[in-house]
Amino acid sequence: MSKILIILNPAAHSERAAGESDRLGSLPGAPDLAFTSGPGSARALAAGAAALGYETVVAAGGDGTVNEVVNGLAGSDLMLGVLPVGTMNVFAAELGLPVNLAQAWEVIRRGHAREIDLAKANEQYFVQLAGVGLDAQIVQQTSWSMKRNLGPLSYVISAAQVASRKPPRLRIQCDCQIIEGCFVLIGNGRYYGGPVTLFQEARLDDGLLDALVFQNLGYLDIIRYLGNILMGSHLDLHDVISCQARQLTVTSDEEVPVEVDGELAMHLPVTFGFAEKRLRVLVP
């Protein structure tokens, strides 16, 4: 078995993750364990793993931890493993990983790797999803103290606050067409915000990004969008436009935030595309 480093976010925004360190340290095969110390720490640990002789780096946390590790591994030959012990594990669901820690560890020990596309927003890499406008504004609006005190309700409150404002006007260049809208979601995989299939044609290895452009943004529009997404009929809506492309650019005359893999990353303008080298990920 290859030499494995597990990078653990001891907070991972959940008490469950904080209690996993003893279990991780006693896993079969005696993997090495490194703890993150703050933002950017997981990226630095992953970037230095090759020089220390590791062949596999495992992100133990939520999607934010996975994103940092991926940005540290980008361009290397190291394999990525995922142990879903955070609050949001959309990428783990996309890969079909078991939720049970011991079973997820066995997936890593078996060493079955799959090559996937490594997407990027400007120069920041991501594996699952990105958003411009509404969802990024909600992430920006929701403080850690709100999440700690209110849980999922904090996002609902932030969404209501964001929806009360005038939405930005975005211009999305997708191949040769230009689409206007209020917010746009970008998918490398199918899932968004949990096991909800938002990007129905998306595949992690098809060399294409899937974009959904939402052209309205009032309270009733958001309710209508959510209802249709849950029923799988959002592509039938007249004000939801989908496209696939290897590269797309989003601009605006306003300052609009961008999130990648659920974390606030930058502000417009942004160009979405792919890294030259693909990422090897351990899967069932």
Q: Tell me, what amino acid is at 112?
A: H
Indicate if the alpha-carbon torsion angle 41, 90, 204, 136 is positive or negative.
negative
Q: Tell me, what amino acid is at 244?
A: Q
Residues of the chain with pLDDT under 70: 1, 11-20, 147, 151-152
Which tens digit of pLDDT belongs to each residue from 180-233?
999 999 999 999 977 789 999 999 999 999 999 999 988 899 999 989 999 999
Cis previous bond, 195, omega within 30:
no
Provide the greatest CA pair distance for the chain.
55
The answer to whether residues 208 and 244 touch, using CB atoms and an 8 Å cutoff, is yes
* Residue 82 confidence (pLDDT): 97
Domains along the chain with CATH numbers: 4-111 (3.40.50.10330), 124-274 (2.60.200.40)
